Structure 1
């Protein structure tokens, strides 16, 4: 892939925006793929389907808005070379829902959160307030919720495996229970539960009653995340990390810093 530049020229800004449009194109396909490929196979609850339908709708809107903006800038989608890293990862994780959630939705999506503030600044410095505003007010905040969906359902699978065979409907008080650790970072319209399936809120209530939810979060969930990323993602994660956005999405430094590039001191 040729370098995109830093947004100082029109061609550089076109190339950067083209890269974002391409990423949104893959994201649309991947949002529907995770539903069709894993939803029924893994007996996921209705809320899983609803979350990723919303993600797909967001990604489709992002694609439409950014592609239209690219045309306004005198270019079009397909005018530049584009990477296929997201699809390579999709193929690698096509048989494993945990891996798909970890790599696509908690590594690649989170990487987008890391780089978008810099991209927005470069467009502003290049005098393109229109594109900068579009990225800052529409794309960036919604990408945080997409990453949150990945974290939410990754945790769900681990909690479900530890929760045994109990159905959510058999747990007292599940219908109105909201887990702040998972749900509070999501938009209000994404906080409602569904009447069928095993919701993550109910599973956490069950585990909390056994006083193991803390160890579940620190040990089972995060350690599984580390081992999954190391197995299915090529190479270490690249800092700097957008800690504020990642925290808003529901995961702190203990999730990703152990997977990061380590500073190597050069000999004097």
Structure 2
């Protein structure tokens, strides 16, 4: 698990710098703050990778000793031509998954008795909230410049680029990062629809009761 986390953090460094360099031709549109924010993210991720590497060394291993997946870089390649797609796929999906998985990984490590590694994972998960928040901020900014609705655009991009959303979701961490629940959780939409439907029913009932009371008073009250 620690080696996998180190791999994710190393990919995150590359992803952040790729975002800075790949979309630098659009600096006049994106604003300098965009590039400064992702350079800062890359710096944080390099620190996270160092923590993981140091802990691996303490356990007698090095990064590269075990096989690793290519999922993150595949998402990077898919979104290489569209800054909105990159923000949707990486910070708002892949990094947001870290918010979901972090607390579960901490519990597992504590269960194994590895409190030192669990402390590292907890610190990384805490700092990842800000990285997701950066993604949310710039995604909304890009959508506004494109005159697009962020929620609809996010969902459209996930379908277009075949990016999968997976639960269970860490709602508290995602709320802290500023991701609206209706962007990623269909159950929240269902709940909202049910609430709206119930509200309509209540309004109709109130209207019917009011009309009956008026009719009753006009006819001299109940007989």
TM-score range, shorter chain: 0.7 to 0.9
The correspondence for 1:91, drawn from 77, 83, 101, is: 77
Aligned to 2:185: 257
2:90 pairs with 1:104: yes
Aligned to 1:142: 127
**Structure of higher CA gyration radius:** 2
Deviations along 1:63-86, one digit per CA (max 9) or x if unpaired, are 011111011112110111100001
Query: TM-score normalised to the size of structure 1?
Result: 0.67
Q: Distance in 2 between matches of 1:238 and 1:30?
A: 21
8 Å Cα contact 1:103-1:233 kept in structure 2? no
The correspondence for 2:156, drawn from 218, 221, 227, is: 227
2:118 pairs with 1:132: yes
Q: 1:42 to 1:231 in 2, by over 3 A?
A: farther
The correspondence for 1:122, drawn from 104, 108, 125, is: 108
Q: Which consecutive residues of structure 2, in runs of 5 or more, have no partner in the other structure?
A: 189-223
Aligned-pair Cα RMSD in Å: 1.6
Q: Distance in 1 between matches of 2:60 and 2:81?
A: 41
Aligned to 1:51: 37
Q: Distance in 2 between matches of 1:62 and 1:243?
A: 23
Aligned to 1:238: 166
The correspondence for 2:23, drawn from 38, 42, 50, is: 38
Q: Distance in 2 between matches of 1:74 and 1:224?
A: 46
Query: TM-score normalised to the size of structure 2?
Result: 0.80
Q: Which consecutive residues of structure 1, in runs of 5 or more, have no partner in the other structure?
A: 1-15, 163-215, 261-268
Q: Distance in 1 between matches of 2:27 and 2:183?
A: 24
The correspondence for 2:58, drawn from 69, 72, 89, is: 72
Deviations along 1:150-194, one digit per CA (max 9) or x if unpaired, are 1111100111223xxxxxxxxxxxxxxxxxxxxxxxxxxxxxxxx
Q: Distance in 2 between matches of 1:147 and 1:39?
A: 20
Q: Distance in 2 between matches of 1:79 and 1:256?
A: 35
Q: Distance in 2 between matches of 1:50 and 1:259?
A: 36
Aligned to 1:192: none
Aligned residues: 187
8 Å Cα contact 1:243-1:252 kept in structure 2? no
Deviations along 1:70-114, one digit per CA (max 9) or x if unpaired, are 111121101111000011111111101000000011000011111
- More helix, by proportion: 2
